[in-house]
Chains A and B, each alone.
Chain A
Amino acid sequence: MTEEVNAVVEKISPEAHAAYERIHASDDFARLKKAYTGFVVPMTLAFLVWYLLNVLCSNYASGFMNTYLFGNINVALVFGLLQFVTTFGIAYWYAKYSVQKMDPIADALRDDFENEVER
């Protein structure tokens, strides 16, 4: 390792390093990581595709987008407003999900770490 590497990063004690490595290898951490990626990866793909679909339809599906549903409300406007609905919905869903599935594991692991390192 050259001298420059990590020269100014906060120094991590050997105990802290060992604790990080142990937690990283634990089943609980694997569960936490799975709970996290299992939610955010498909959700990110979904909302990006959904958003780009709105952009692409605006460009290339004018017949569909310009269909009037009632009065002056057309599909394009409803599509755009649905982006707001899905954004609020995903945010709310993530708030519920993270409190139930992620936070308890994260809290326990953090407590372990603090007990291990600070004593």
Chain B
Amino acid sequence: MNLTTLTLVQADGDSAGHQGLTMSLFILVVLVTVAITFWASRNTKTARDYYAGGRSFSGVQNGFAIGGDYMSAASFLGISGAIALSGYDGFLYSIGFLVAWLVALLLVAELLRNSGRFTMADQLAYRMKQRPVRTAAATSTIIVSIFYLLAQMVGAGALVALLLGVEGDSAKNITIAGVGVLMIFYVVLGGMKGTTWVQIVKAILLMFGTILITILVLAKFNFHLSDLLGTAADNSGHGKAFLEPGLKYGADTTSKIDFISLGLALVLGTAGLPHILVRFYTVPTARQARQSVLWAIGLIGAFYLMTLVLGFGAAALVTGAEKDQIAASGGNLASPLLAQAVGGGTDSTGGAVLLALISAVAFATILAVVAGLTLTSASSVAHDLYANVWKKGEVTGAEEVKVARIAAFAIGAVAIALAIPGQKLNVAFLVALAFAVAASANLPALLYNLFWKRFNTRGAVWSIYGGLISAVGLVFFSPTVSGSDSALFTSADFDWFPLSNPGIISIPLGFLLGYIGTVTSKETDSHDRFAELEVRSLTGAGAEK
């Protein structure tokens, strides 16, 4: 039987039934999450409820929510896709994204829980001049979150359009707007409680879906990993090189340095991502924050091990027209199409059911992550910029929550407005950029503030803006924005910076500027409260309850 012809016919023919099932599951995901949000909104009254879910979640619950927040569409679809296309080089994402959690576990989670309140800026501004540091931290929070948000929304548009078989720009635009409206709804109404429960449910769905496909893939090879790898290498068209490092990044010195740069941003970015940091405020104690990271490491580690099977599985088992479709989607469709293949192929009921199931999981993933990002940005606008910078703290919690809800609307609208024309942007590029900015702008300031007595306002402001501007600036002058065939502006040519990931320059620069800013400033006020910060962060004495 000629499989290629068959699947090509298939793609045009009776795929309507599959799409009906996919659509039904999407609607089910929407209904369940909307119901959760309504339920959560009844218990959201104070600022503490809205920003931090009342600090009432257990370590296990928060661990699942962290997993739900972190294992984004870029992980689920992007990493398995990167492995399906680039083999071992794609695996670096899995490794870096997991090892990064040790930075969060050992250096950040518990100390942040004890010394912060609602936002990342609460911690950074603890012993500094409030207005400059909060403004800088809020700017960085919003920029990192918007990049991440754009990645998810652009991904959602492309994915949903492909999976539902709708074509043309208007369908993608409607999808993006629909995702935007939903996330505004979750965040405005449900606050942190609603968002957290959506993330918990999503994490469970994602783990269930991933375990199912992993077992089905391994069963095809009688649970012999070596056979799976061998078939993947044979069918990839690259042979053994597919299982070895260097397929994507090994070509020349520049791409090797780019690989190191990416590796640094991955491992150091996580503990500076504002939407991850605020999750530590949703538990009652530092010990529960530690428990949540331990659970998150278990879940995320298991998940990334399975992405290895999904990625190599897609390379081994997806053939014919679907294989071309994976390549055309930049790898993003590897997991859904693998699900279809292990379910029995394109013309089977099993294939249709699994494709619909995995597509619905991917959709739930996108919704949960965009909700977390919107909430984080809205909280920072309301709590940092409005309440503390503009009103100098003279506001009630109820007013803050009102402003946060308005901000969620505004950020959602901005994200929709940016994502629709931004559909040409590469999803993996946006996520990598968010990690690079987080590692360059946020992590140096966080670590200095926690561990270096002398650190002061100028140091904080310089490291945040320095890391932020250098990371974004270097990307602007990189081949991802201009000068190459895959660039954002193919006609222009201002790519004097050769790397697509700025981390190797901008992360050390963030640390260096924090140091120089500190030692050139005569401010000593920040030293006075260091003893307090140290005792509070290590013991929890006086921590927010």
Residues on A lying within 8 angstroms of B by beta carbon are 1-2, 4-9, 12, 16-17, 19-21, 23-24, 29, 32-33, 36, 39-40, 43-44, 47-48, 51-52, 54-60, 62, 65-66, 70-74, 76-77, 80-81, 83-84, 87-88, 90-91, 94-95, 98, 103, 105-106, 109-110, 112-114, 117
Contacts and interface: CB of A to CB of B under 8 A. Distances in A.
22 contacts: A7-B393, A19-B541, A44-B106, A51-B263, A54-B95, A56-B260, A58-B92, A58-B246, A59-B259, A62-B246, A62-B250, A66-B240, A72-B230, A73-B225, A77-B229, A80-B94, A83-B95, A87-B301, A88-B298, A109-B541, A110-B539, A114-B541
Contact of B245 (A52, A65, A83, A95): A65
Nearest to A51: B99
A87 B98 contact: yes
A93 to B, nearest CB: 11
A23 B411 CA distance: 43
B90 to A, nearest CB: 11
B450 to A, nearest CB: 11
Given A5-B130, A73-B229, 4 more contacts: A20-B541, A72-B226, A84-B305, A105-B539
The 3 A-B pairs at the shortest CB distance, nearest first, are namely A8-B393, A71-B226, A58-B245
B452 to A, nearest CB: 13
Given A71-B226, A72-B230, A1 B525 contact: yes
B15 to A, nearest CB: 35
Contacts of B101: 87, 91
Nearest to A116: B541
Given A52-B263, A55-B259, A73-B225, A95 B290 contact: yes
B107 A44 contact: yes
Nearest to B395: A8
A65 B233 CA distance: 16
B243 A74 contact: yes
A26 to B, nearest CB: 9
Contact of B263 (A9, A43, A55): A55
B91 A80 contact: yes
Nearest to A17: B532
Contacts of B532: 12, 17, 20-21, 24
A29 B535 contact: yes
A87 B88 contact: no
B287 interface: yes
Interface residues of B, number: 64
B125 to A, nearest CB: 8
B429 interface: no
Contact of A110 (B98, B103, B256, B540): B540
Contacts of B387: 8
Contacts of A33: 534, 538
Which of A33, A40, A112 has most chain B Cβ within 10 Å?
A40
A113 B392 contact: no
A40 B107 contact: yes
B243 A32 contact: no
Contacts of A71: 224, 226-227, 229-230
Contacts of A76: 88, 243-245
A7 B102 contact: no
Nearest to A74: B243
Contacts of B245: 57-59, 62, 65-66, 76
B300 to A, nearest CB: 9
B542 interface: yes
B102 A47 contact: yes
A16 to B, nearest CB: 6
A65 B250 CA distance: 13
